[in-house]
């Protein structure tokens, strides 16, 4: 589904990604871990098409298309969803109204008929239950006045409604207490399916207790320095990033 | 007062007396402004003597006045002698079919979702009697008549209801009020008149759309709305489609009179031609709007200003009676080279009078947007309250937002609150919405509409929908 090859990217004049290689197949869950500043969020941003990042080398193929050629909204309509680390507030714009517009943009792109207000509300009620969402949040302006937990839950809720094929979760666990973490993780798990891939970007192993990945990749200084199964995350938890970075450096030197 | 026949005769003689050339066929008064112009206009409209006198007083006052220079809008000097002051009906080319209409305008109509009949009418295509709204208008007129509501063109009112017009004309905006109002008083060509009798609730939104002779009221309109004691009326003004016009001066006056316990809601969606991207062409819109609210009366101004090269207007409320309420809700958009200097005046005279001001200014391109407001609480206005909120939204980094709030409080028992904010439309916000599948244009549209929500919800339903669409069109191409 997703093939990242030798991806290089920079912000302003600072190079952040320095040759990422990653292959993600449908049905898989990949965790990208790494210390602060290793390029995790940059990778998520580049995949979603954030303007601030400039790709200087490499390629990204998504469902057979050159992803980097697509505008952010085209990527979204093609089923790429980014759960933001810092969801943005849009004052005055009703959450449900926004989501209906987004869903219909995606549906139109897929050649499906737009949902009317009644059908949409029925769908939304269903999905809200999944995430234990207070239906009051639906009629409030997008993310405005939401608590940190509510914002993250709202991200996963949007994901559930939009039914993307590739979900990129950028530090979704940051700022969540344990209960919220569990609810969010359950929401993500409910979306796991053979046709859908998930990339979980996280600093801590904690989230991976709930969303159990098929693969774990460790990012350091813009490169994947180690890949493994779910046990790699536990090892990291135990030994810290220092261990693997030293190891990786040794590999690079050797 | 002389009878109308007498007046016509008098005016006819006057015409000869001044040796004024009048070509009745073309209905145009020669270029330039003099007493003769004023007389000619009055004569063409068969106006009574008192109205001619009123116009002449206004004209003489205007001669003594200087064009205001305190505003934050800049434009080349207007040559008042180079304007044709009366040209009704406007000599517009009648087009045979929609195919002859500028494709750009057609595209805009399509986006606005305006029905074909309406498109034809707005484009100046002859549709005449087959056009549905004509008969609709007549039906409404009968219904209104049953309730004693008078709703007609200003000219018609002058001839049919001279006493009412004479009683209220100039009582809110005097003929000497300001440079542009004086000019309007001297040369106004037509406009609307509405009277709602005591205790009557007008059962429908009144709008120029439903008025048969609304066509081509010209650049100097005058509107007078009187709601008698306990009456209610909601009035919609404006053109929600882009009527293209050459760069010209538009100086209108609107007077509202809300007698004891009456309510007037006055909603405007203004979308005159704003000029092109380089600031060529467009309307100079210098408008004086003011309402007087007597005891327990309420006046609400709601305006969405997206058009015009220059917008200069301050719909105001004189809260004269005790417990009177004044409200002003405004969205003003300036894109490309547009300039707006707009706001309101709330003058509290009566006890326990209340006013609310919510102003939303949006600047894009090189647009300059100024809020200018005065809250004045006089000595006698004990227990009065005002709440003002002025928010500005900037799109891009070449535009400007300016706020000039003036507050004068002469009564210690009154409360005045003022909140203001300026924000830039965030790249983050746009990216967030695009990441969910919305185009940049839709994203900006959504953010801007959210910003304006408090104002839009004051508009009647259909108007609010149109206003939202219009906002999107006005801001097209402002990002990216």
Q: What interface predicted TM-score (ipTM) does this complex get?
A: 0.95
Q: Is the dihedral of CA A110, A115, A119, A120 positive or negative?
A: positive
Question: pTM score, two decimals?
Answer: 0.80
Whether A11 shows a pLDDT value over 70: the answer reads yes
Strand partners for A30? A199, A215
In a domain, B225, yes or no: yes
Structural domain range at position B164? 4-73+89-475
Contact call for A93 and B428, based on CB within 8 A:
no
- Pick from B437, B446, B453: which is nearest to A77 by CB? B437
Find out whether A173 and A106 touch, Cβ atoms under 8 Å: no
Q: Per-residue pLDDT averaged across A114-124, rounded? A: 90
Could you count the other beta carbons within 10 Å of the beta carbon of residue B255? 22
- Residues 6 or more apart whose CB falls under 8 angstroms from that of B375 comprise B345, B346, B348, B355, B357, B386, B388, B405, B406, B407, B408, B409, B416, B418
pLDDT in tens, A208-240: 999 999 999 999 999 999 999 999 988 888 888
Residues in B closer than 8 angstroms to A82, CB to CB, are 435
Residue B83 falls within a domain, yes or no?
no
Total count of domains within chain B: 1
Query: What's the rounded Cα separation, in Å, for the pair B181 and B170?
Result: 10
Residues facing residue B468 across a β-bridge? none
| Helix, strand counts (H, E) of chain B | 13, 19
Give me the torsion for CA of B153, B241, B426, B276, rounded to 10°: -110
A105·B432 Cβ contact <8 A = no
Most B-contacting residue of A51, A52, A73 (CB-CB within 10 A), to test interface: A73
Which pLDDT band holds residue A44 (cuts at 50, 70, 90)? Answer: very high
* pLDDT, averaged in runs of 10, over chain B (480 residues): 38 31 48 88 91 96 92 85 66 54 58 53 37 42 86 88 96 95 91 93 73 45 94 80 57 95 92 75 87 98 87 95 97 88 95 96 89 94 95 88 92 92 88 96 90 86 75 69
Among the partner residues B427, B439, B447, nearest to A90 by beta-carbon distance:
B447
Residues of chain B neighbouring A165 (CB-CB closer than 8 A)? none
Domain boundaries, chain A: 2-253
CA distances from B282 to B107, B222, B274 (A): 19, 21, 4
Q: Which of B330, B322, B338 is nearest to B305 (CA)?
A: B330
Q: How many CA atoms lie within 13 A of A9 on its CB side?
A: 29
Closest by Cα among A229, A200, A198, A231 to A214: A229
Domain A2-253 has CATH 3.40.190.10: no
Cβ of A92 and B451 within 8 Å?
yes
> Does residue B178 lie within any of the structural domains?
yes
Question: Any idea which residue has 């992803």 for tokens?
Answer: A67
Testing the interface with B: which of A93, A97, A154 to mutate, by most B Cβ within 10 A?
A: A93
According to the model, what pLDDT value does residue B319 have?
98
Residue B80 lies in a domain: no
pLDDT at res. A246? 66
Predicted confidence (pLDDT) per residue in A181-196, tens digit = 998 899 899 999 999 9
Instruction: List, as one string, the DSSP characters of B320-358.
Output: -STT-EEEEEEEEEE-TT-EEEEEEEEEE-STT-EEEEE
Q: Specify the pLDDT at position B45.
A: 86
d(CA B454, CA A141): 13
On whether the CB atoms of residues B275 and B248 are closer than 8 A, the answer is: no
Which sign does the torsion angle of CA B476, B477, B478, B480 carry? Answer: positive
Yes or no: say if B234 and B202 are a contact pair by the CB < 8 Å rule.
Answer: yes
- How far are the Cα atoms of A203, A222, A226, B160 from residue A236, in angstroms, in the given order? 10, 18, 11, 90
Residue B238 pairs in a beta bridge with: B269
Radius of gyration of chain A measured on its C-alpha atoms: 18
């Amino acid at each position: 589904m997703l093939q990242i090859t030798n991806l290089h990217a920079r912000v302003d004049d600072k190079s952040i990604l320095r040759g990422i290689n990653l292959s993600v197949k449908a049905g898989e869950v990949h965790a990208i871990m790494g210390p602060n500043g290793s390029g995790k969020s940059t990778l998520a941003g580049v995949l979603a098409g954030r303007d601030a990042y400039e790709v200087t080398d490499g390629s990204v193929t998504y469902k057979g298309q050159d992803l980097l050629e697509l505008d952010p909204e085209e990527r979204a309509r093609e089923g790429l969803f980014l759960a933001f680390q810092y969801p943005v507030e849009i004052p005055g714009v009703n959450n449900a109204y926004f989501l209906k517009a987004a869903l219909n943009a995606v549906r139109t792109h897929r050649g499906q008929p737009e949902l009317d207000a009644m059908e949409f509300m029925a769908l939304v009620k269903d999905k809200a239950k999944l995430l234990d969402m207070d239906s009051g949040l639906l009629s409030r302006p997008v993310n405005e006045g939401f608590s940190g937990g509510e914002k993250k839950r709202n991200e996963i809720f949007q994901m559930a409604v939009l039914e993307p094929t590739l979900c990129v979760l950028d530090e979704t666990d940051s700022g969540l207490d344990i209960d919220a973490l569990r609810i969010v993780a359950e929401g993500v798990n409910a979306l796991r399916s053979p046709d859908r891939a998930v990339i979980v970007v996280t600093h801590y192993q904690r989230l991976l207790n709930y969303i159990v990945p098929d693969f774990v990749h460790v990012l350091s200084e813009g490169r994947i320095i180690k890949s493994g199964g779910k046990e790699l995350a536990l090892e990291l938890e135990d030994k810290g990033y220092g261990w693997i970075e030293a190891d990786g450096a040794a590999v690079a030197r050797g | 007062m002389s009878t109308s026949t007498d007046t016509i005769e008098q005016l006819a003689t006057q015409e000869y007396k001044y040796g004024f050339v009048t070509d009745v066929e073309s209905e145009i008064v020669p270029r330039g402004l003099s007493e003769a112009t004023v007389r000619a206009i009055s004569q063409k409209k068969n106006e009574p003597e008192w109205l001619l006198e009123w116009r002449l007083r206004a004209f003489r006052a205007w001669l003594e006045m200087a064009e205001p220079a305190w505003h934050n809008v800049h434009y080349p000097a207007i040559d008042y002698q180079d304007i044709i002051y009366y040209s009704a009906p406007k000599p517009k080319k009648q087009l045979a079919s929609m195919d002859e209409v500028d494709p750009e305008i057609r595209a805009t109509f399509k986006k606005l979702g305006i029905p074909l009949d309406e498109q034809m009418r707005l484009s100046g295509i002859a549709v005449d009697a087959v056009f549905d709204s004509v008969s609709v208008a007549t039906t409404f007129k009968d219904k209104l008549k049953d309730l004693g509501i008078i709703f007609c063109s200003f000219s018609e009112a002058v001839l049919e209801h001279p006493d009412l017009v004479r009683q209220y004309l100039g009582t809110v905006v005097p003929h000497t009020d300001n440079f542009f109002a004086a000019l309007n008083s001297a040369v106004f060509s037509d406009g609307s008149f509405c009277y709602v009798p005591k205790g009557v609730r007008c059962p429908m939104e009144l709008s120029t759309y439903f008025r048969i002779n609304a066509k081509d009221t010209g650049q100097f309109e005058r509107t007078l709305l009187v709601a008698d004691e306990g009456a209610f009326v909601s009035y919609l003004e404006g053109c929600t489609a882009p009527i293209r016009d050459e760069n010209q001066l538009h100086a209108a006056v609107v007077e509202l009179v809300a007698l004891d316990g009456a309510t007037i809601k006055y909603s405007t969606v203004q979308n005159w031609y704003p000029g092109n991207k380089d600031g060529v062409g467009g309307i100079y819109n210098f408008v004086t709007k003011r309402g007087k609210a007597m005891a327990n009366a309420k006046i609400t101004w709601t305006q969405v200003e997206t058009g015009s090269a220059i917008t200069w207007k301050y719909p105001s409320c004189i809260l004269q009676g005790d417990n009177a309420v004044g409200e002003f809700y405004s969205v003003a958009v300036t894109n490309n080279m547009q300039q707006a200097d707009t706001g309101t005046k709330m003058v509290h005279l009566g006890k326990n009078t209340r006013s609310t001001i919510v102003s939303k200014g949006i600047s894009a391109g090189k647009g300059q947007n100024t809020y200018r407001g005065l809250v004045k609480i006089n000595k006698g206005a004990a227990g009065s309250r005002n709440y003002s909120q002025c928010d500005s939204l900037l799109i891009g980094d070449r535009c400007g937002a300016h706020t000039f709030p003036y507050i004068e409080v002469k009564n210690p028992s009154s409360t005045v609150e003022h909140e203001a904010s300026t924000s830039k439309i965030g790249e983050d916000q746009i990216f967030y919405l695009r990441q969910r599948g919305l185009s940049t244009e839709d994203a900006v549209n959504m953010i801007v509409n959210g910003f304006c929500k408090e104002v839009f919800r004051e508009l009647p339903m259909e108007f609010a929908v149109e206003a939202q669409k219009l906002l999107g069109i006005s801001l097209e191409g402002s990002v990216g």
